[in-house]
Structure 1
Amino acid sequence: MMVIVGMRVSMMIVSMMVIVNMRVIMIWSAPSASNNKIQLEDDQGNLQWVDLLEPVPKTRVTEDNVTFLLYTRSNPTNPTTLRTGVDSSLGEFNPKHETVLVIHGWTSNPSSVSAITDGFIATGRDYNVIVVDWSGPASPGYVTAIGNAREVGQIIATFIDYLASKGLSTSHIDIIGFSLGAQVAGIAGFRVSAGTVGRVTGLDPAGPLFNTASSKNKLDSADGDFVQVIHTNGGLQGYKGAIGHADFFPNGGSRSCAHHRAPAFYAESLARSTPFTATECGSYRDYSRNECESRPRAVMGAYTPRRSIFGHPSALLPDPAVSARGAGEGEGGLIHLGEVLDDRLRREYVSEGVGRRVLDRLPLMYRIRLALFMGTSPPSQFYLP
Structure 2
Amino acid sequence: MLNPILILGCIGLELVSANILLTPENCFALKSDECPNWNISFWLHTNDNLEGARFTENDKFLPGRKLHVLIHGFAGSRTATPNSQLLPLLTLDKQADVLSVEYTNLAVDPCYSEAVHNSRIVGRCLANLLLSANADLSNAHLIGFGIGAHVAGFAAKLLQALSVRVKRITALDPAKPLYLTDDITGRLDKSDADFVDVIHSDVFFHGILMPLGHVDFYPNSGIAQPGCGDIHNMATYQCYHKRSADYYAESITSPVGFFGFYCKDMISYMKYECQPSDHIEQLGYRTRPTARGSYYLQTKDVAPYANGIDFSNVDRNLTGKTYLGDAFVAMLLTQPHK
Q: TM-score, normalised by structure 1?
A: 0.64
Structure 1's 81 and 27: CA in aligned 2 closer, same or farther, altered over 3 A?
same
Q: Which position in structure 1 is the counterpart of 2:263?
A: 281
Give the conservation status (yes or no) of the 8 Å contact 2:30–2:118. no
User: 1:294 deviation in Å?
Assistant: 2.9
Q: What is the correspondence of 1:25-64 to structure 2 with a 5 Å cutoff?
A: 26=10, 28-31=12-15, 36-37=20-21, 57=29, 59-60=31-32, 62-63=35-36, 64=38
Q: Which has the higher contact order (CA 8 A, sep 6+)?
A: 2
Q: Deviations over 1:303-353 (max 9, x none)?
A: 2122xxxxxxxxx4xxxxxxxxxxxxxxxxxxxx24xxxxxxxxxxxxxxx
Q: Return the match for 1:218 from 177, 181, 187.
A: 187
- Structure 1 unaligned blocks of 5 or more: 1-16, 18-24, 38-49, 307-315, 317-336, 339-379
Q: Which position in structure 2 is the counterpart of 1:267?
A: 249
1:183 pairs with 2:96: no
Give the conservation status (yes or no) of the 8 Å contact 1:204–1:259. yes
Give the conservation status (yes or no) of the 8 Å contact 2:70–2:143. yes
Structure holding more strand per residue: 1
Report the secondary structure of 1:31's partner residue. Answer: helix
Q: Return the match for 1:291 from 261, 267, 274.
A: 274
1:110 pairs with 2:78: yes
Equivalent residue pairs, number = 268
Give the conservation status (yes or no) of the 8 Å contact 2:199–2:218. yes
Letter aligned with residue 65 of structure 1 = N
Structure 2 Cα separation of the partners of residues 35 and 285 of structure 1: 33
Report the secondary structure of 1:298's partner residue. Answer: strand
Structure 1's 55 and 72: CA in aligned 2 closer, same or farther, altered over 3 A?
closer
Q: Whose radius of gyration is greater, 1 or 2?
A: 1
- Structure 2 unaligned blocks of 5 or more: 1-5, 225-230, 232-236, 299-338
Q: Return the match for 2:124 from 144, 150, 154.
A: 154
Q: Which position in structure 2 is the counterpart of 1:173?
A: 140
Q: Deviations over 1:180-212 (max 9, x none)?
A: 111111111111135210001110011011113
Structure 1 Cα separation of the partners of residues 30 and 267 of structure 2: 46
Computed over aligned residues only, the root mean square deviation of the Cα atoms, in angstroms, reads 2.8
Q: What is the correspondence of 1:9-158 to structure 2 with a 5 Å cutoff?
A: 26=10, 28-31=12-15, 36-37=20-21, 57=29, 59-60=31-32, 62-63=35-36, 64-77=38-51, 79-84=52-57, 86=58, 89-90=59-60, 93-112=61-80, 113-122=83-92, 124-139=93-108, 141-158=111-128
Structure 2 Cα separation of the partners of residues 117 and 254 of structure 1: 26
Structure 2 Cα separation of the partners of residues 264 and 153 of structure 1: 24
Give the conservation status (yes or no) of the 8 Å contact 1:29–1:36. no
* Identical pairs, percent: 28
